[in-house]
Amino acid sequence: MLSASPHLPNFPEAEGQNPASTVLVSKALLPLPSIPAQSNLDGIWLTDDLLFQHQRCQRRAFLETYGDLEQRDPPSDYLAKLKQDSQAHQRNVLAEQFAHRPQYARRDWLRGAAETQILMARGVDRIAEGVLLVELENGLRLVSCPNLLIKQPGQSRFGDWVYEPADVRLGKRPKMDYQIAVAFHAYVLAAVQGAWAETGWLMLRQRGTYAVNLSETVPRMQEILRDCIQMLLQPEEPEVFIAHNRCDLCQWFSHCYGLAQQQRHLSLLPGVTPSRYVHLKALGLTTLESLAAANPKQLECLPGFGLPVARRLVRQAQAMLHNYAIADGLEPDQAALSEQELPTASVELYFDIEAAPEQNLIYLHGVLVVDRIGETETFHPLLAHSESDEQLVWEQFLDLVWRYPDAPIFHFCPYEVQTVKRLGEYYGTPSEWIEPLVERFVDLHERVTRVAILPVESYALKPIARWLGFNWRDSDANGAQSICWYAQWMATGDRRYLDAILRYNEDDCRATYRIKDWLVEFCQPHRNKPRLP
C-alpha cells in the first residue's frame, strides 16, 4: 500500500478487492474490438486524447485524423490559458510525491512505451506520464498516457504487483468523459500488464481523489472505442453540427461554422439539439424552408418535442428565413409585457459582471446609469485591481445602486442576481439591503425569450444586440477573453488589459440598454407585427 501523504491522497485498494485473486489476462484474451481483415489502419495511433475528442464530437476526431491541419484556428487566449492552468495543476500534483518518469521525446510513443514497461518491470511505486501501447491487427495502435500509474498489491506479468491508472484534471466534477478516459487507460493497461486494475482514479482540483468504477465504465468506453474505430475504418466526414456549448473553444470551429453557414444548417437554429435533429432528419425536415412550412402537430409526438417546442421550432425557422421578429403567442391587440414586468423609469441602471470562476472572483461590477430626464448616460466601472479588492468593489456597488433606490436594474440572464445574493451572504450584508435590491432586478433575457422569436442563432446577449445593429468596439471580445485579460493584468500590471476589460464591459451594459429599448417598442400591441395564426 502507498504511504500516507499530507498533500497527495492515498489510493487505497478498492472495496472488496482481493489482490491474490486478481485475474490474469493476456493480450489475446483482452476483449478488443475486431477489425475486418481487409482493413488497413497502418500508421494510425488511436490515443486517449483522440478518444476523448471523439466522445465529445465525432467530427473533431475525424478532422484531427484526416483533415487539413492548416484549417484549424490558432488557439484562443482562453484555450491557451486553460491548457496552461491544467498543466500547472498537473505539475503541482505530481510534484507532491516522487514518481519515476520514462525518458522519451514528445509523441515518441514506441520509446515511451518501452521505457514505461522497464519501470513497471522494476516495480517502482509511481510512474508519471507513462505510455501504454497495444498494437492491433492491421496496424492500428491504441496509445494511453495516464498522468500516473500507481503500484498496488496483486498479480501481473511483472510480478506480485499491479498498476492502477490515475488522471489529474482541472475540472471540479468527475465528468463522464474524464471517467471514460481513465477506463481507456485501464483497458490498455490490462493488455500491457496482463491483469485488470480494480480501480481507476481521477484527481480533481477541488473534489480531490475520485474512484472510477471500472466495471461500470469500461463497457461504456468500449462502445465509444468501437465507434471511434469504425470512424477510422470508414473515413467519411461526419455531418457538421454546431453546438456552441461544445464547439466555441474548438480549433476547428471556424472551419465547421463556415460550412454550417453555407448549408444554412438547422443546428444554427436555437432549439435544434442533436437528438431533435435526428428526428427532424428522419422526416426529411433538414432545411429552413421545410421546417418553416411544417405543421407543428406533425412534430409534437416526437421524443423531446411536445407541441410548445414544435411550435417554437417552426416559428424560429420562419423568423430566421424571413429575418424578422415574431411575437410569440400574442393576440393582435395584446401587449406582450406589463409596465411592472418591463418598467420605464426616469433613472435606469444597466448591470453586467465580469468574473474569474477558477479563482471564484468577481473582479468588475459594471453599471451604466441612464438618466432619461437629464438625458445623460454614465458608466461606472467598479474594478477590483487585485483579488483582495473584491469586498471593496462589492461595497462600492451597493453604495452606487442605493443612490437610486427607485431605479430598476436591468441585466441579461440570471447570473447577476445569483451573484448579488451570493456576495451578500458571503460578506454578511444585511438582508434589508439585499432583498429589496433583488426585487429591482429585471432579467431581459427572460423577457425576450418569453415574448419574442428572433432571427438569431442564439439568445445570448451578443447575437441579439448585433441583430439590432449594436457592435462591440473590440469585435472579438467575450467573457472568456475578459478572464484572460484580467490574468494578464495580474501578471504584468499593464493597464491596457484593464482598459480592454472596461471597454468590453461597458459595451455589454450598452448592449443590454439597446435590447431593453427595442423590447419596449416590440411589446406595444402587435396589430401590424408578424405572427403565426
**Contacting residues for 362 by C-beta, under 8 A, at least 6 apart:** 353, 354, 355, 384, 390, 393, 394, 419, 423
Q: What is the pTM of this model?
A: 0.84
Among 312, 285, 337, which Cα is nearest to 453's? 312
What are the E-state strand segments in 88-227?
126-128, 132-135, 141-144, 148-156, 159-169, 200-204, 208-212
Residue 89's pLDDT is what?
85
Q: Which of 509, 81, 393, 515 is nearest to 501 (CA)?
A: 509
pLDDT of the residue at 4: 27
Q: If residue 421 lies in a helix (H) or strand (E), which one and from where to where?
A: helix 415-426
- Nearest C-alpha neighbor of 450 from the set 331, 327, 344: 327
Residues 6+ apart with CB under 8 A from 341: 442, 447
At 242 the pLDDT is 93
Low-confidence ranges of the chain (pLDDT < 50): 1-30, 527-528, 531-533
- Give me the pLDDT at residue 93, please: 86
What does the pLDDT read at residue 33?
Answer: 55
Q: Which residue has the cell 456552441?
A: 244
Question: Amino acid identity of 159?
Answer: G
Crossing angle (nearest 10°) for helices 48-56 and 176-193: 150
Yes or no: say if 44 and 65 are a contact pair by the CB < 8 Å rule.
yes
- CB atoms under 10 Å from CB of 430, counted, come to 8
**Radius of gyration from C-alpha coordinates of the chain:** 28
Q: Which residues pair with 345 in a beta bridge?
A: none
Q: Domain ranges for the chain, please list them.
A: 19-233, 264-322, 347-522
Q: Which CATH class is domain 347-522?
A: alpha beta
Closest CA to 146 of 122, 126, 162, 160: 126
**Assigned C-alpha cell, 33:** 474490438
Residue with cell 442605493: 402
Q: What is the DSSP string of 210-274?
A: EEE-HHHHHHHHHHHHHHHHHHHHS--PPPP---HHHHTT-TTHHHHHHHHHHHT-GGGSTT--H
For 27-55, give one letter per residue: b (16+ CB within 10 A) or e: eeeeebbebeeeeebeebbbbbebbbbbb
Nearest to 378 by CA among 389, 367, 391: 367
Instruction: Give me the pLDDT at residue 40, please.
Output: 58
| Residue 314, C-alpha cell as written in the block | 417552426
Q: What is the pLDDT of residue 140?
A: 83
Q: Output the CA torsion sign for 48, 49, 55, 58.
A: negative
Helix (H) or strand (E) holding 80: helix 77-94
Q: Whole-angstrom Cα distance, residue 483 to residue 356?
A: 6
What is the reported pLDDT for 496?
95
pLDDT of 207 reads 79
Copy the grid coordinates of residue 393: 468593489
**How deeply is 194 buried, as exposed, middle or buried, from its count of CB atoms within 10 A (0-12, 13-18, 19+)?**
buried
Cell digits of residue 148: 500516473
With vertex at residue 225, the alpha carbon angle to CA 221 and CA 231, rounded to the nearest 5 degrees, is 150
CATH number of the 264-322 domain: 1.10.150.20
**Distance from C-alpha of 240 to C-alpha of 247, rounded to nearest angstrom:** 11
Residue of 295, 270, 59 whose CA lies nearest to 285: 295
The continuous run of DSSP H or E covering 193 comes out as helix 176-193
Q: How far apart are CA 373 and CA 388, in angstroms?
A: 38
Given CATH 3.90.320, say whether it is the number of domain 19-233.
Answer: yes
Whether the domain at 264-322 and the domain at 347-522 fall into the same CATH topology: no
| Greatest Cα pair distance in the chain | 84
Q: Please choose, from the candidates 478, 525, 523, the residue with its C-alpha nearest in 3D space to the C-alpha of residue 501.
A: 478
Quick one: cell of 321?
Answer: 428565413
Is 364 in contact with 380 (CB distance < 8 Å)?
no
pLDDT at residue 87, rounded to an integer: 87
